[in-house]
Amino acid sequence: MSAAAPAVVVIPARGGSVGVPLKNLQDVGGASLVARAVRAALATPSVRQVLVSTDHPEIAREARRHGATVVDRPADLAGGAASSESAVLHALSVLGAEDAADGLPSVTVLMQATSPFVDPADLDAAVRRVRSGQEDVVVAASASHDFQWRLDDGLASPVGHDTGHRPRRQDRAPHFRETGAFYVMRTEGFLEREVRFFGVVGIQAVDPRWAIEIDEPHDLRLARVLASMRDESVVSGALTDVDVLVTDFDGVHTDDHVIVTQDGQESVRVGRDDGMGVSLLRRAGTRVVILSTEVNPVVSARGRKLGVEVLQGIGDKEIALRDWLESEGVDPARVAYVGNDVNDLGAMSVVGLPVAVADARPEVLAAARLVLDRAGGHGAVREICDRILAGQHSPRAAGPETSEQVADQA
C-alpha cells in the first residue's frame, strides 16, 4: 500500500433504525443524510473513492445518484447488533477483490451519515495526518470547557476537574467530545486490529456549532434548524459578504463546446446576458476575475470586453488563486468561485463560497455550497452576479463606466 495513495471512505448506511425510521434517507437542508455524507466525502481532495455499505435498495439508489459506489451488505452484518467496523471490513474485502491491481489505499475512513455537517477541509486534514504517519487514527471531536459529572450509585462525582478549584474558562484546557462524524485510520492497522482505535490516536478539532449526531427525532429537528441557519444566505437567494467573484471560463462563461475551423481556429459562444451581469456587478464595486487553464486568445479577448482581470494558462488553479488572493490582500472567506469541472476543485476549496453551475461534474456539485439553477453558457454567470447584487444592502460607488459603455461590454 502506497503512503501517497488517496483514501477510501466507507459510509455504513443500513436501512434499519430504531430511533428514526429510515434515518439515512431523512432530509436535512434539502438533501438526504446519505447524500450529504457522500457529497462531503467526494469534495475532500485526499479521498479517492466513496463506498456506501447498505442493505436497503432506496439508500443504494440515493448513494449512486450522488456518486458513491454501493457495497451490498450481507444480512448478518445489517442487524442492530452489527458494528460499524464489520461493515468497513466487509467493504474493504469487496474493494480488494475488485481492485486487486491497485491494492487497498493506505488510509480508510469510517464516516457516518448521521453527522450532516462534515467540513471536507476537516476530513482532508485528518487524512493527511494519518497518511503522513503522524498518527495511526484521527477522530473528529469538538472542544468543550464545561464541567462534567457522573453518578455512581446516585452520588455525584466530578470528571476531570477539582471541585475545590474553579478556574475561569480561558484558564482551563478544553476536553473533547467525539462527534461521530469520521474516524480516519491507517488501513493496515485497522485490518490487523479490526477496531477503529489503535496505535497513536489524534484529534481533528471541528466546529462545535455543527457537531451534531442524529440518533433521535429531536436530533433530526435540530439538524434541520441548524441547516437553515448555516446556509441562510445561500437558501434565501441573495448572497452576502462577497467582495470578489472568480470564475472558470470554459463551461461557465461558455457551454464547454468549441467550434474548430479547418485552419485550426477556435471560437466559443458567450451570452450577452452574462456580460451585462458582470458589468452591473463591477459597477457595484465587486471585483471579477477569470481564472482559466486555457491559453486560447478568446479568453483574454472576452476579459478585455468585460473589463475584468484574466489569469490564464494556469496549471494549478488552487496555487494560482492562493497567490493572487495573498498578493491582493483579499480575504478568501469573502470570495465566490464558480466552477464546472474537476480542475476547479482546488480553487473551490480555497474560498468562502464555492459555487457550481447546474451542469457541473458530480464531484464539483458535491464540493459546492451553492449549485446554480442555470448551466454554463446559459445564464450561469448572470445568475451568480444577480444573487451577489441582491445581497448588497447598499450600492457601492459606481465605476467610471457610462451607460453606453456598460451596454457595449454586454
Confidence band of 261 (pLDDT split at 50, 70, 90) = confident
pLDDT tens column, 151-186: 999 899 888 778 888 877 777 778 889 999 999 999
Please indicate, yes or no, whether residues 47 and 191 belong to a single structural domain of this protein.
Answer: yes
- Per the domain annotation, does 306 fall within a domain? yes
CA gap 323, 334 in Å, rounded: 16
- Per the domain annotation, does 321 fall within a domain? yes
Tally of helices (H runs) and strands (E runs) in the chain: 14, 19
- Provide the pLDDT for residue 185: 97
CA gap 322, 332 in Å, rounded: 8
Helices (H), 207-296: 217-230, 232-235, 272-283
Looking at the chain, the whole-number percentage of residues with pLDDT higher than 90 is 48
Please indicate, yes or no, whether residues 275 and 355 belong to a single structural domain of this protein.
Answer: yes
Confidence band of 19 (pLDDT split at 50, 70, 90) = low
Q: Closest Cα to residue 34, out of 115, 108, 110, 105?
A: 115
- Per the domain annotation, does 2 fall within a domain? no
Neighbouring residues of 18: CB distance < 8 A, sequence distance ≥ 6: 80
Please indicate, yes or no, whether residues 189 and 260 belong to a single structural domain of this protein.
Answer: no
Please indicate, yes or no, whether residues 201 and 303 belong to a single structural domain of this protein.
Answer: no
pLDDT tens column, 125-137: 999 999 999 999 9
- Per the domain annotation, does 238 fall within a domain? no
**How many domains does the structure of the chain reveal?**
2
Assess whether pLDDT exceeds 60 at residue 369.
Answer: yes
pLDDT tens column, 283-312: 999 999 999 988 888 899 999 999 999 998
Please indicate, yes or no, whether residues 379 and 313 belong to a single structural domain of this protein.
Answer: yes
Predicted TM-score (pTM) of this structure: 0.59
More confident residue, 3 or 313: 313
- Provide the pLDDT for residue 210: 87
CA gap 81, 87 in Å, rounded: 12
CA gap 270, 72 in Å, rounded: 45
CA dihedral 288, 289, 290, 293 (to 10 degrees): -160
Query: What is the DSSP code (8-state) at residue 168?
Result: -
More confident residue, 6 or 249: 249
- Per the domain annotation, does 239 fall within a domain? no
Q: Closest Cα to residue 11, out of 117, 112, 86, 91?
A: 112
Average confidence (pLDDT) over 135-142? 95
- Provide the pLDDT for residue 274: 92
Query: What is the DSSP code (8-state) at residue 14?
Result: -
Whether the Cβ atoms of residue 308 and residue 288 lie closer than 8 Å to each other: yes
More confident residue, 244 or 224: 244
Please indicate, yes or no, whether residues 89 and 195 belong to a single structural domain of this protein.
Answer: yes
Please indicate, yes or no, whether residues 261 and 221 belong to a single structural domain of this protein.
Answer: no
**Residue-range definition of the domain harbouring residue 33:** 7-230
CATH number of the domain encompassing residue 96: 3.90.550.10
Please indicate, yes or no, whether residues 130 and 201 belong to a single structural domain of this protein.
Answer: yes
- Provide the pLDDT for residue 106: 92
Confidence band of 401 (pLDDT split at 50, 70, 90) = very low
Please indicate, yes or no, whether residues 280 and 313 belong to a single structural domain of this protein.
Answer: yes
Q: Minimum mean pLDDT among 75-79, 152-156, 322-326: which range? A: 75-79
Please indicate, yes or no, whether residues 336 and 219 belong to a single structural domain of this protein.
Answer: no
Please indicate, yes or no, whether residues 112 and 66 belong to a single structural domain of this protein.
Answer: yes
CATH number of the domain encompassing residue 362: 3.40.50.1000
